Amino acid sequence: MLYYAAPMEGFTDRVWRQAHQKWFGAQGAADRYYAPFISPPENRVLIKKKMAELAPAANPGAPVIPQLLAKDGELAAWMIGQLRALGYTEVNLNLGCPAGTVTAKGKGSGMLRDPAKVDAFLDGVFSHAEGPVSVKTRLGVEKPEEFAAILEIYNRYPISELTIHPRVMRQQYRGQADRAAFAAALPRCTMPVCYNGDVTTAAQLHALEEEFPALSGIMVGRGLIADPALFRRARGGAPAAKEELRGYLTDLYHGYTELFGSAGCAISRMKGHWFYLIHCFAGAEKLEKQLKKLREPWEYEVVVNQIFTLPLVKQISI
C-alpha cells in the first residue's frame, strides 16, 4: 500500500517536505507528497514567487505532486502543461477544499454544488491536457447521497487516481469521516482510489489496508503533522525519537525564517505545527499556553527548550 502526504495549506510546503524526508528517512517518507494547491493565473503569466514552491531543485527526494485549484478546465489544462514542462508527471485537481473563501468562488468542493459544472470542467481539462491527471474530492455539499451523481461524472474521464475524503463540504473537518459511504462508493469507481480522512495512527492505516485491500493508496494530513514518524511506524520502524523531533523542528524554524525573511513570521508558522506536535510531550499543557502567546524569537526558543525537557508520550495521537 502506498502512503501519501496530503496537501495542507500552511503545513506541507517545500520547507516541511525537505525536513520530513531528512529526519525520518526513506522508511518514514511519503511515497508521494501532494503540494498545497496553486491557482492558475487567468492572464496565463506565472508568478515567480508562487512557482518557487514547485521548483524542481527545491523538491528533491520522493515525488511531489502539484495540486491545482481552478474552475476553468481549459485554463487548468494550460497550467498542467506548464507543470509538465517543469518535469512533473501527475497533476492533481482539487475538488475537495471546503474553505468558505474557496467554495464561495465555485472552486474546490464548491464545484460539487453543480455536477454539470464538474462535467464541463473535467471535459475542458481532459480535452486539452496530456498525461496523468488525478482528482481529490469530497462526497458532496450537504449529504453523502450526492456522491452517486458526482461519481457517475468522474467515471466518464480517464482520471489516473481518485482520492476520496468521505465528508461533505458543510462538515469542513468536523465530525467523523463517513467510512460506510466510502465503502458503498468504492465498487462503483472505475479508476484507482485513494482514501483520505481521519487517519492518525499506524493501527488505523493497517485497518484500512485490511478493510480495503484494493486501494491504490492512503493519504494522511493532520495525522502526519502530529506524528511525523507515522509512516515509518506503519512500515514496522521506530517511533519518533526526541533527537529527531528536535532536529526536525529546528530545521523547520530556520527554513521558515529564511523563506519569510523574518523569525516572527516563522514563529507564526511554527505555532501551527506545534498545535499538533505538542501532544507528543507529556505534561506540556502549561507550556502549550505560553507557546500560543509568545511573539519574540527569544521567547520561542526558551519555551521550545523547556518543552524538550519533557518526556515523550508512548503513543502519539490527536
- Report the percentage of the chain scoring pLDDT > 70: 99
Helix (H, G, I), strand (E, B) or coil at 24: helix
Kindly compute the dihedral angle of the four CA atoms of residues 142, 145, 150, 151, in this order, to the nearest 10 degrees.
140
Instruction: Tell me the backbone φ, ψ of residue 203, rounded to 5 degrees.
Output: -65, -40
pLDDT in tens, 119-143: 999 999 999 999 999 999 999 999 9
Specify the pLDDT at position 11: 97
- Find the mean pLDDT for residues 30-55: 95
pLDDT in tens, 58-78: 999 999 999 999 999 999 999
Helix (H, G, I), strand (E, B) or coil at 34: strand
CA distance 236 to 144: 35
pLDDT in tens, 110-120: 999 999 999 99
pTM above 0.85, yes or no: yes
CA distance 222 to 318: 9
Specify the pLDDT at position 256: 98
The three cell numbers of residue 140 are 458532496
The three cell numbers of residue 73 are 478546465
Specify the pLDDT at position 318: 41
Q: In sequence order, what are the beta bridge partners of 64?
A: 33
Angle value at C-alpha 256, between 37 and 95, nearest 5 degrees: 10
